[in-house]
């Protein structure tokens, strides 16, 4: 096979040597525009996993790279005059030039032809090649020439960064945050050889321009960074090896994702993208070189499996793309999360968080590192942080005593103290009769109150008969409804130490529908009642009833219904009250521009759309006891172009905070059937995080939170103050107690009659963990033989 690699970076060189090693008869050429043994850039970062993978495919190269590596375990944060260090993170760094020189020498030793100082213009320049590897970087000419086939999605990110070096040596991967009069700068610093460290300085576009760096040349930019980080550099200068770049050398990162990775050109040659040409990963997670190396390994693997002859190329390339796509997207998503964290940290975290919590937030920025993973990396540091977290909330942990995980610390708001941070979400049960809750609800809610959560919400109680979602939804508009809910509240208070919450709402345009198991959102087959909304609408176009636009008289009547239900909630003895302004129900329909098309003062801009929900909330807050908290559930994004955005959600939260709300319950969607949500574990938590930091109000995180590790990670990072767990509580009423046992936290009270169950569950999990650890030790011992 004749193979031409366009681009002599890690992807092209490593693929060339692996394929030459697979079959020395392959005719392989690497074409590079730079001079022999020359390159630009400073250090690159690998993971131990990538090194293990390389060793399997070419031990000689891996050993030489390993010998040149600088290895460190610690991450150090320099922030607000503090230095905080955490260990166990396992990075390895090497100079980019050193890495490429090792690969170049290995290629030459194997018989790969290296052609330098040749700027390949097109894949068409090599018409006799069977396979052309387009590893020509983020600005790939080959990708551009075949853009219609490769379909690249290229996003230029807003932050500015400059990639520098210094001869000051660091013994940890160091992050240094410095505040200026115009905003925050951060430096990403790591040693990569015996004399040099990478020193990347990053900031926002606005801060960059405010300091005049858009008008500075390279020397002026370097001098600015030297002054800013003078305390860190300790007299060592910053240096650049990118003098070939015009202007100031400040760059914007480009995220590249391609829909298709290969094609057959007009000469019959197969062309495949590799490395930065097909996908990029932000330096915040340090995985660009890792992706390039593993691309080369996977393509070689497919040739090994399917055959390395010209006729097998199409099958190999198809298998290669399929195999790499998922792993690449996983790493890119993690890199995207880390990148976004650095893009917004100056606005969202630097001023708001104390150094201890800022460190935790930074370590978990990619959402790939969880709370328990941090415990494996550095148990001493994490327990110290847990001790700090508990102490901040008034929990004194004696020396020698293990601190509680964040989810099991108390939370105090107004005059209420929750025993822990776990909330049972309001979950529709569709089991009421004429709005009346009964024995089913007592058992359902009572079981979950016994199950360890700090706060148990009943499902949305509707403020009128016509405000019910379905005929099976509870109401709070008749005296017997109050008595039935009071029976539940009294039982929970008498038999558990959980608090009881009520959520009030009106279904609006989504009312008069069937129970979920009969057809979610479908109108009743008979007996429908009239429905209303902010504007005329059908939730299911052509299917749902048409909701009429509320008049001022309608608005007064519904507001008074909310007030009557609030008074009933006081009589019930509810500890917590939440107003439902999400999911396309009545008040949500006022807030979203997708459903509010009014021409009066209750429509138009966001302030107008918020006017009626705020009227209702303000009136409720005035009669709800001042020592009891109130929260508001919102759809923090509609997941539809033209709908409510996360930016809007911050303003919505600020408005409710000004009206007296204590927390924002951050849900999303269900406003329009045109929505395109992006699901995943903890997928709505970034909404709670943003609102908490930017609006300055406590939040409840909801959505795909299914294990203690999720809850602890969210709370410890300051992304939310409480976590509402829904479906796991349907499957297991004692979810909170189960998760405590699973993570080995035994200092938690169970209901006294269940004491023997506590001991048994904790023992079962202890044995399970011991068996897993033994299996891991056995596997490690076997691998070392």
Rounded distance between C-alpha atoms, residue 356 and residue 384, angstroms: 10
* Nearest Cα to Cα of residue 310 among 114, 125, 123, 128: 128
Rounded distance between C-alpha atoms, residue 205 and residue 770, angstroms: 51
Q: Is 190 a catalytic residue?
A: no
Cβ contact 291:331 at 8 Å: yes
Secondary element (H or E) of residue 580: strand 576-581
Joined tokens for residue 472: 């099976």
- CA max distance for the chain: 89
Rounded distance between C-alpha atoms, residue 357 and residue 145, angstroms: 47
3-state DSSP: the chain helix, strand, coil percent, rounded to 5?
A: 45, 20, 40
User: Where do we find the tokens 């941090």?
Assistant: 374
* Nearest Cα to Cα of residue 444 among 492, 396, 375: 492
- Residue spans of beta strands (DSSP E) within 402-547: 411-413, 416-418, 422-424, 455-457, 461-462, 499-505, 532-533
Catalytic residue among 320, 385, 585, 602: 585
Joined tokens for residue 579: 């107003």
Joined tokens for residue 771: 């068996």
The helix/strand count (H/E) of the chain reads as 26, 31
DSSP string, 739-783: HHHHTT-------GGGHHHHHHHHHHHHHHHHHHHHHHHHHHHHH
Q: 513-522 — which CB contacts under 8 Å span 24+ positions?
A: 513/469, 513/470, 513/544, 514/470, 515/430, 515/470, 515/471, 515/472, 516/428, 516/430, 516/470, 517/430
Which sequence positions are flagged as catalytic?
585
């Amino acid at each position: 096979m004749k193979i031409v690699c366009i681009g002599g970076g890690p992807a092209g060189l490593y693929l060339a040597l692996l394929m030459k090693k697979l079959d020395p008869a392959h005719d392989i050429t690497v074409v590079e525009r730079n001079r022999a043994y020359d390159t630009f850039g400073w250090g690159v970062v690998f993971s131990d996993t990538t090194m293990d993978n390389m060793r399997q495919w070419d031990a000689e190269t891996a050993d030489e790279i390993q010998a040149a590596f600088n290895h460190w375990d610690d991450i150090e944060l320099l922030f607000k005059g503090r230095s905080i260090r955490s260990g166990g993170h396992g990075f390895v760094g090497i100079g980019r030039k050193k890495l490429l020189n090792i690969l170049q020498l290995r290629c030459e030793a194997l018989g790969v032809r290296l052609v330098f100082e040749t700027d390949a213009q097109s894949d068409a320049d090599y018409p006799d090649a069977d396979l052309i590897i387009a590893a020509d970087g983020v600005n790939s000419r080959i990708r551009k020439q075949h853009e219609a086939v490769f379909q690249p999605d290229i996003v230029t990110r807003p932050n500015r960064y400059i990639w520098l070096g210094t001869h000051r040596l660091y013994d940890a991967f160091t992050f240094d945050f410095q505040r200026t009069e115009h905003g925050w700068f951060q430096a990403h610093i790591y040693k990569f050889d015996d004399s040099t460290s990478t020193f990347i300085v990053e900031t926002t576009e606005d801060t960059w321009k405010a300091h005049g760096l858009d008008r500075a040349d390279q020397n002026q930019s370097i001098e600015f960074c030297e002054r800013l980080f003078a305390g860190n550099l300790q007299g060592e200068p910053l240096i650049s090896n990118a003098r070939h770049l015009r202007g100031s050398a400040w760059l914007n990162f480009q995220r590249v994702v391609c829909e298709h990775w290969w094609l057959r050109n007009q000469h019959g040659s197969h062309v495949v993208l590799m490395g930065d040409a097909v996908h990029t990963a932000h330096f915040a997670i340090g995985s660009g070189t890792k992706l390039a190396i593993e691309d080369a390994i996977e393509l070689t693997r497919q040739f090994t499996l399917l055959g390395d002859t010209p006729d097998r190329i199409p099958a190999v390339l198809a298998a290669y793309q399929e195999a790499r796509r998922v792993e690449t997207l996983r790493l890119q998503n993690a890199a995207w999360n880390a990148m976004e964290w650095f893009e917004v940290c100056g606005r969202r975290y630097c001023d708001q968080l104390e150094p201890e919590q800022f460190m935790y937030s930074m370590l978990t920025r990619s959402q790939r590192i969880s709370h328990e993973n941090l415990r494996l990396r550095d148990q001493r540091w994490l327990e110290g942080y847990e001790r700090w977290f508990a102490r901040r909330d008034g929990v004194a942990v004696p020396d020698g005593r293990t601190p509680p995980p964040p989810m099991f610390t108390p939370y105090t708001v107004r005059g209420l103290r929750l025993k822990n941070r776990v909330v049972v979400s309001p979950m529709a049960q569709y089991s009421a009769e004429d709005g009346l809750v009964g024995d089913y609800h007592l058992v359902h809610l009572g079981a979950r109150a016994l199950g360890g959560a700090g706060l148990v919400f009943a499902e949305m109680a509707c403020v009128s008969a016509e405000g019910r979602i379905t005929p099976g939804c509870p109401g709070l508009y008749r005296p017997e409804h109050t008595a039935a809910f009071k029976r539940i509240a009294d039982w929970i208070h008498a038999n558990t130490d959980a608090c009881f919450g009520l959520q009030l709402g009106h279904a609006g345009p989504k009312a008069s529908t069937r129970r979920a198991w009969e057809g979610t959102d479908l109108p009743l087959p008979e007996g429908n009642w009239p429905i209303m909304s902010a504007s005329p609408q059908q939730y299911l176009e052509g299917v749902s009833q048409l909701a009429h636009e509320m008049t001022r008289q309608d608005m007064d009547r519904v507001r008074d219904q909310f007030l009557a239900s609030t008074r009933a909630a006081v009589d019930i003895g509810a500890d917590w009250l939440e107003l439902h302004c999400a999911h396309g129900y009545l008040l949500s329909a006022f807030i979203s521009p997708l459903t509010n098309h009014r021409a009066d003062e209750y429509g138009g801009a966001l302030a107008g759309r918020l006017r009626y929900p705020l009227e209702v909330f303000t009136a409720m807050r005035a009669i709800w006891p001042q020592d009891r908290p109130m929260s508001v559930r919102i759809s923090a994004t509609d997941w539809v172009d033209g709908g409510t955005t996360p930016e809007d959600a911050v303003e919505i939260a600020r408005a409710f905070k000004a009206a007296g709300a204590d927390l924002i319950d951050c849900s999303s969607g269900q406003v329009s059937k045109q929505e395109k949500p992006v699901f995943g574990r903890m997928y709505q938590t970034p909404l709670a995080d943003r609102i908490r930091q930017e609006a300055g109000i406590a939040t409840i995180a909801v959505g795909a939170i299914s294990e203690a590790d999720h809850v602890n990670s969210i709370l410890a990072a300051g992304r939310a103050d409480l976590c509402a767990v829904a479906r796991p509580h349907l499957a297991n009423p004692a979810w909170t107690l189960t998760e405590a046992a699973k993570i080995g936290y035994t200092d938690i009270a169970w209901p006294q009659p269940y004491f023997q169950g506590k001991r048994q569950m904790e023992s079962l999990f202890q044995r399970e963990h011991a068996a897993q650890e033994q299996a891991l030790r056995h596997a490690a011992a076997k691998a070392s033989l």
